[in-house]
Amino acid sequence: MNRIYERVLHKSGSSNKKRRQKNDSSEENCLPKKRRKGKPKPTVQPVGEMARREEERLEKLVLGDVTDLLHHDDSEVPSFSCTSAMEDSGVEEGDSDSSPQMSDTLASPEREPAWQDEEDLNICVSEAMSAQGRKVPEILSGGSGSDPYTRILKHKYEARMGTPSWANLGHRSAKKSGSSDDDSDDELLQHCGNFLSNRSSVLRKGSIEVKRVCDLNRDTYTEGPVIKAVEFHPSSSVALVAGLSGIASLFDVNGKKNTKLHSVQFERYPILCAHFVPSGEQFVIGSRHHGFFYNYDMMVCRSIRAVPNSGLGITNTKNFKLSPDGRLIAVCGRFGNIHLLTANTLEGVGLLKMNSDVSAIAFDSDGSRLFSHGEGGEVHVWDIGTRRCLGRFTDDGCIWGSSLAVAPGGRFLACGARSGVVNVYETAGLLSAANRAPRPTKILLNLTTSATTVKFNASSELLGMASDDKDNAFRLVHFPSMTVFSNFPGSSQPHLARPQCLDFSPNSGYLAIGNNKGAALLYRLKHYGNY
């Protein structure tokens, strides 16, 4: 029995001894390397970790190391990896500078300037100012003359003008990311009020939207103490201004600067009348004291003195009109004579004679008829083809006629008198034989002095009438209601002075008025187009 018990103890002691030896070996493996004796045993890694490391190794082998590209270290990247990447992507092999550009885009949002002058970086404020002969301003240099000159200039520009939109690096990317619908929504949100315009295509009566803009001859003011002629070009945004000083100037009409294009001085030739030819390539001027014209060709910038035949008896050219087709010139002469001349050669082709002195003439829209007005208050209607008088009638209440205007459509005829009365007639019933004294459609009594100028606009919706005998003697009449606009010129326009001449631009966007102060005033009529 004792033997059996000793044998059991011996077996248990040997098993415990083996277990202690195994635990001692595991504790020895957990100790630091310094405390280990002999060569350490290799650690066994999990299967997932080994797979991940193998995957990273294969990525570096095939695609290259991304971290090496971002840090611009081309030496560590294997040559075969770059070649394989290019072959896989289909991009041709280029310069080695493509990697830094790619790294700037991928690594950091900051962008460096494309070019920078190294010499500018070495220039200080004090050196630059001394080279220019200027003192160093403390507000710019910040109390130090050693700051770079470029930084001071940039600070000065941003202080005055602000940061321009093209310098905002995030602006373009933000704009590209947004859609066109977002841009349209932003435009709508920038406005307040009604989104639908209630502007009508028909001009309304009562008041007119008008704004005074820069004077037409602001660049010069040398056309004379009195502006006697102002006219817009028939096809271009150009205007002609001429006066008693004998200077005719051409201006670019934009309402902001009205830049002078050209000026012509005519010696000892005070200009009282000037008109563009219908083609727009030339303009013709006339004077009170001379019986000849000046024809200026704008294509070659040359003036030609055009003298009519001396046998015609033309002593002055202060009042003339060109026919709409540009073939004839009608000149008001003495003793009621109206001379018809060819526009090219100034050859006399006809003579029309009234019973009394002639003061005003006007062609109709197609140039087939000519109206004349003058002493006695009679208006004559002439046929240009046959040079015969088609009829005449007495202007209602007129003793001496002073101005005439025919609407572009030929429907209305406006007759101004020295008494200031302006009568408007419909041309349809003027030539009836039984009607020698027709009643005017409208009698305008808004002027109290001689109505020296009347003019219709191109759409026959406006009639401008003016008198050169009184300050602010100017009125705009609305058609077809034939009522005067109450807000123009009004008491807020004391600068109008005495209007001498007027004209509307081809699309009625502008109104020009020449006065006795040497200024050609320009007004923007907002109902119409730009020119």
Instruction: Report the pLDDT value the prediction gives residue 314, as an integer from 0 to 100.
Output: 93
Q: What is the pLDDT of residues 304-348, one digit of tens each?
A: 999 998 888 899 999 999 999 999 999 999 999 999 999 988 899
The 3-state secondary structure of 393-425, one letter per residue: EECCCCCEEEEEEECCCCCEEEEEECCCCEEEE
Contacts with 464 (C-beta within 8 Å, 6 or more apart), sequence order = 453, 454, 455, 456, 457, 474, 475, 476, 477, 502, 504, 511
CB-CB contact of 253 with 505 (8 Å): yes
Q: 527: which 2 tokens?
A: 């109902």
Tens of pLDDT, residues 101-131: 444 444 445 667 677 777 666 777 777 777 7
Tell me the percentage of the chain whose pLDDT exceeds 90: 54
What does the pLDDT read at residue 155? Answer: 76
> In 10 A of CB 119, how many CB atoms?
6
In the sheet that 337-342 helps form, which strands lie side by side, from edge to edge? 320-322, 328-332, 337-342, 348-353
Separation CA 336–CA 204 (nearest Å): 41
pLDDT average, residue stretch 492-497: 74
Bridge-based pairing of strands 412-417 and 422-426 is antiparallel
The token duo for 324 is 């709409």
pLDDT score for 118: 72
Torsion, CA 24, CA 27, CA 33, CA 36, rounded to 10: -10
Do 180 and 195 meet the contact criterion of CB atoms below 8 Å apart?
no
pLDDT digits (tens, 9 = 90+) for 159-217: 766 666 666 655 444 444 444 445 545 554 555 555 445 556 889 999 999 999 999 99
Q: Tens digits of per-residue pLDDT, 51-68? A: 888 888 887 777 766 555
For the stretch 509-527, pLDDT in tens is 999 999 999 999 999 999 9
Give the chain's mean pLDDT. Answer: 79
Highest mean pLDDT among 130-134, 161-165, 473-477 belongs to 473-477
Measured between alpha carbons, how far is 141 from 391 in angstroms, rounded to an integer?
85
pLDDT, position 420: 96
Contact 447, 454 (CB under 8 A): no
